[in-house]
Structure 1
Amino acid sequence: MPVTTIGTAQVHVDAEGFLTDYDEWDEQLGRQLAAAIGIDMTDAHWTPIRFLRADYPEFGQTATLRRISTLAGIPIKDLFTLFPGKPAKKMAYIAGLPKPHGCV
C-alpha cells in the first residue's frame, strides 16, 4: 500500500486515498482529512465518526448509513446535511476506515 503524508503524519492509503491501517488514525488526522474535503468538524460531525471508529473493530467493515442511523440515533437526513453528497463515503474517509461496500 502506498504511503502518503497528511499534515505531519505518514499514513498508508489505498488507491482512492482511504487509510488502510486502523491504528494510524487519530482525531487530529480526522480533522485534517475533513478539511481536505471541505468539512469543518463540529460536535455533531464527531458523533457519527466516533460511532464508526467504535463499530469497525467489532464488525470488521465500515457501517452503512442505516446502521449509523439506527444504532447511533442520527437520522439519515441529518447525515446528508452534515456530510453532503456521499455521506457514507465521506464519513469513512474522515474516520480513517475503508470505503463502505456499495459506495462507488
Structure 2
Amino acid sequence: MASSEIYRYLSIEGKKIGLDPEGFLVDMGDWSPAVAEALAAEEERILTEDHWEVIEVLRDFYSRYEMAPAMRPLVKSVGLALGAEKGKSLHLMRLFPDSPAKVGARLAGLPKPANCL
C-alpha cells in the first residue's frame, strides 16, 4: 500500500525502505521491528518496553479501524489496553515527546494521523 512519493530511503537488513518527506513509510508492508528501531535511532530515541506496548496498541488500532489514531483516541486505546496509569497524555508525552500520535504512528509504520500537523 503506497501512501505517497518516496523522498528518501532507509536501509535495513539490505533492503531499501522508502520514506516520505516526514519520515513515514511509503509502503506500510515494509514495517518490521527493525524498521521501528532504525526510525527511532534517527531521532536518538531508544525504544523501551513501554514504547513497544504503545506501538502494539497503535498497530492494533490501525488493524481495527484502518486509520492511525489522533491523540484522544490514542490515549483512550492505551488506557483500555494497558491500564489507566499508562493511558494518560503525560505518559505518552514522556515516551513520544512533541506529538505522541504522530511520532508513535511513524514508528509503528502507520500513516500520519489525519488530525496531526
- What's the TM-score bracket when you normalise by the shorter of the two chains? 0.7 to 0.9
Are residues 1:89 and 2:105 paired?
Answer: no
Q: Can you list the C-alpha shifts for 1:24-57, whole angstroms capped at 9, x where unaligned?
A: 1011111111111121100011111111112112
Instruction: Tell me how large the CA RMSD over aligned residues is.
Output: 1.6
Structure 1, unaligned stretches of length 5 or more?
none
Q: Match for 1:7: what amino acid?
A: I
- Paired residues for 1:7-86 under 5 Å: 7-8=12-13, 9-73=15-79, 74-86=87-99
The aligned residue for residue 98 of structure 1 is 111
Structure 2, unaligned stretches of length 5 or more?
80-86
The aligned residue for residue 83 of structure 2 is none
Aligned structure 1 segments of 4 or more residues deviating by more than 6 angstroms: none
Q: What's the offset of the Cα at 1:78? A: 0.3
Q: What's the offset of the Cα at 1:20? A: 2.5
Q: How many residue pairs are counted as aligned between the two chains?
A: 104
Q: For 1:99 and 1:49, locate their aligned partners in 2 and report how far apart those are by CA, in whole Å.
A: 14
Q: For 1:12 and 1:59, locate their aligned partners in 2 and report how far apart those are by CA, in whole Å.
A: 24
TM-score scaled by length of structure 1: 0.87
Larger Cα Rg: Structure 1 or Structure 2? 2
TM-score scaled by length of structure 2: 0.79
- The answer to whether the 8 Å contact 1:39/1:83 transfers is no
- The answer to whether the 8 Å contact 1:13/1:19 transfers is yes
Q: For 2:66 and 2:42, locate their aligned partners in 1 and report how far apart those are by CA, in whole Å.
A: 26
- The answer to whether the 8 Å contact 2:70/2:116 transfers is no
